[in-house]
Amino acid sequence: MSGPGLFSPLRLGAHTARNRIGFAAISTRFAREGLVTDRLIAHLVRRAEGGAGIVVTEAMVAAPSAAEPVRAYAFDPRNDAMFRRMADAVQGAGALLVGQLWHGGSARLTGRAPRAVGVSPVPDGMSWTVPHVLSGAEIEALVEDYAASAARLARAGFAGVEISAAHGFLPLQFLSPASNRRADEWGGDVAGRTRFVRALVRAVRARAGAGLLVGLKLPAEDGVPGGIDAAEAERITGAIVADAPPDYLCYSQGNHGWSLFRHAPDMHSPPAPYLHLTRRMRAAAGGVAVAAIGRLGNPEDAARALAEGAADLVMLGRPLLADARWPELARAGRAADIRPCIACNYCWGEINRGAPVGCSVNARLGREDELAGPPSPPPARAGAAPARHIVVVGAGPAGLAAAAGAARRGARVTLFAPGATLGGAARLHARLPGCGDIARALDWQERQVVAAGVTIRRNQRASAAAVLALRPDAVVLATGATPAAIEGLESDVAVPDLRALAARLLDRPERIDGTAVIFDHDHTPMTYDAALLLARMAARVVILTPRESVARDMSILVAQAVQHRLAAAGIAIEPCALPRAFFGGRLSFAHALTGRVGEIADVALLVAATPRIANDALAAPFCAAGIPVSLVGDAWAPRSMLWAVREGHEAAEALVPATGG
């Protein structure tokens, strides 16, 4: 391995990045009505302070015809002062600031867009929006819109812009033969289909000046039949760099449709799954720098991408949400201290549900104090009250976050863990197929708890008496939740809980002859990961769900990946189904809407994934004793790891104020 290292400088146009690590564009919903906010600026500055050499903004709207109020408007003069502040702050922290220019065209996740514009009358793969087809004059006006937005960012002091031509957005709609059906000069062969992107690069350089670096984001495979495969991507790359070469190219996969999930490979994907494509595109790029992206959260994987010649730089999105100090810690040889991204894609899910971006492992994401250390307790004084004693019951992600947070803030903390290992039910999830990244996050949390000096009582299921005997000043209950029974089912055998069954099968694998049926009334990732485990052991697996499809509580991107895995494993789905009777290996069920009765014969196993009920009974005796109690995670109400970690941190901050313990 002889390529450049992660921390060698990189010349891009007229600029030099201090290292070869970029923060990739990822939406935040921190903008308001198209306007840049202090929160958005602070978010980008934290990534620069953490050591990234390049910071790419989230997608910013390049033209009025693409206006979405949750994105900053690059075309809007009302943002000029804030753009200058952004450039000064990010570049003052040592990173090159690159503004991503975006136009969605006909792409929309849900609901048809009534005023969408596009290349051809081809329905969007997600929303089925058929756009207004742009005329030649309208296309030329759009090119001018992009150039004007780039010039605006250049005047504000940005180092560069990145044109987003990936993920099914408007420029990709021009590039792909699946979406571009035009017979004029903007369509047809590769020269025609690349004309729009080439025009954008030339116009941006002409309007914004040679000093502005220009990046271009493309797919190497968009996953659409008749679309862009690797060979077509090579032809597209060659046509662009021969006529209007950008300063760097970044290849991110997937399109707006059933391949959407490919642009953010999740924990089930192997590390660095797209390097073979990046290496191939680099060979076609004619010397233009190429960025690798996708599951490069381990510094070793990122460094290997450069050393083996697959790329010239790496772009990290989700890993730098999980820990903005990733570059700084990697440079210092402290990879074990990096808070690991688990590729759960709940960051994407928060955006998808209309909330600001969040992270399952980084509770401070989006906060001004994201990189701040714990407050220093006041110096010890004679006669001063002792540090507050906080007892945390439960050692899952919520309990670990609360214990470490309170101890770092100066409290004396005792943690009750019912088992020998820490992590709670998440430890079981981490053992399921493709879920090992969860274990990395739990191991990191455990190291934080130990380093903070928490007293850990392992193998102790806390009782009210045991906790009260410690005379705590406050109690945090992170006691999880218990699955409910299936309602309305008559059966001649006990129906096991899916999680309990999975734990048993992981320890003692067995062959299940016949059909295994999962009643999915839970719709969480753990249910579907356990289904994959069951599919390895059963002749056939069927999921019954009362809803019209599985994974309904998940974002579209996460649900797509789940549905892809279930289908690949041969798992059948029976929607709108309510189990009614299970006798002698025959399961009857009713359609939730019509009452139509169906039956599955040869059922060797019926297992339940049901709603969970919070384990909050311990709260009453502590409240009766006048001890403040905080319920966090599933003990408050069953939800995701994101909420568990966030509430654990919030409980610590509320119980141990910044003034000390």
Q: Which residues contact 500 (CB under 8 A, 6 or more apart)?
A: none
Instruction: Check whether residue 116 and residue 257 sit in a common domain.
Output: yes
Instruction: Check whether residue 38 and residue 187 sit in a common domain.
Output: yes
Judge whether 610 and 483 are in contact, CB under 8 Å. yes
Instruction: Check whether residue 192 and residue 291 sit in a common domain.
Output: yes
Instruction: Quote the CA–CA distance of 470 and 11 in Å, as a whole number.
Output: 60
Tokens of 349: 């899910």
* 367 falls within a domain: no
**Angle at 377 (CA atoms; ends 375, 383), nearest 5 degrees:** 165
Judge whether 321 and 365 are in contact, CB under 8 Å. yes
Residue 371, classified by CB atoms within 10 Å of its CB into exposed (0-12), middle (13-18) or buried (19+), is middle
* DSSP states of 412-427: EEEEE-SSSSSSTHHH
Instruction: Quote the CA–CA distance of 354 and 340 in Å, as a whole number.
Output: 25
Strand 389-393: give its sheet, edge to edge: 455-457, 412-416, 389-393, 474-477, 629-631
Amino acid identity of residue 272, one-letter, is: A
- Helix, strand, coil share (%) of the chain residues, nearest 5: 35, 20, 45
Instruction: Check whether residue 474 and residue 491 sit in a common domain.
Output: no
Of 577, 606, 578, 590, residue with least CA distance to 517: 606
Residue 261 CA: distances (Å) to CA of 146, 446, 495, 560: 28, 31, 34, 6
Instruction: Quote the CA–CA distance of 127 and 232 in Å, as a whole number.
Output: 26
Judge whether 581 and 587 are in contact, CB under 8 Å. yes
Instruction: Quote the CA–CA distance of 275 and 566 in Å, as a whole number.
Output: 26
Instruction: Check whether residue 223 and residue 321 sit in a common domain.
Output: yes
* 565 falls within a domain: yes
Give the global pTM: 0.95
* DSSP states of 278-330: HHHHHHHTTT-EEEEESS--SHHHHHHHHHTTS-SEEEESHHHHH-TTHHHHH
Per-residue b or e along 508-532, where b marks 16 or more CB atoms closer than 10 Å to that residue's CB: eeeebeebbbbbbbbbbbbbbbbbb
Instruction: Check whether residue 339 and residue 419 sit in a common domain.
Output: no
User: Which pLDDT score is estimated for 660?
Assistant: 41
Instruction: Check whether residue 585 and residue 458 sit in a common domain.
Output: no
Of 69, 46, 132, 61, residue with least CA distance to 99: 61
Of 171, 158, 26, residue with least CA distance to 103: 171
Tokens of 207: 């309007």
Secondary element (H or E) of residue 277: helix 275-284
Instruction: Check whether residue 471 and residue 493 sit in a common domain.
Output: no
Instruction: Check whether residue 221 and residue 340 sit in a common domain.
Output: yes
CATH code, 549: 3.50.50.60
Report the 3 state secondary structure along 531-556: HHHHHCCEEEEEEECCCCCCCCCCCH
Strand 572-574: give its sheet, edge to edge: 572-574, 538-544, 512-520, 603-609
Provide the residue range defining the domain that includes 574: 485-610
* Strands 586-591 and 597-600, bridge-based pairing: antiparallel
User: Which pLDDT score is estimated for 383?
Assistant: 53
Instruction: Check whether residue 449 and residue 560 sit in a common domain.
Output: no
* 135 falls within a domain: yes
Instruction: Quote the CA–CA distance of 531 and 53 in Å, as a whole number.
Output: 42
* 286 falls within a domain: yes
* 228 falls within a domain: yes
* 375 falls within a domain: no
Judge whether 295 and 252 are in contact, CB under 8 Å. no
Instruction: Quote the CA–CA distance of 73 and 68 in Å, as a whole number.
Output: 8
CATH code, 454: 3.40.50.720
User: Which pLDDT score is estimated for 372?
Assistant: 84
CATH code, 76: 3.20.20.70
Judge whether 372 and 46 are in contact, CB under 8 Å. no
352, 381, 412 - which closes a domain: 352
User: Which pLDDT score is estimated for 385?
Assistant: 61
Instruction: Check whether residue 136 and residue 109 sit in a common domain.
Output: yes
352, 371, 398 - which closes a domain: 352
Instruction: Check whether residue 161 and residue 290 sit in a common domain.
Output: yes
Domains held by the chain: number? 3
* 365 falls within a domain: no
Tokens of 255: 């399109």
Can you list the residues of the chain whose pLDDT is less than 70?
1-2, 374-385, 658-661
* 366 falls within a domain: no
Classified as helix, coil or strand, 138 is helix
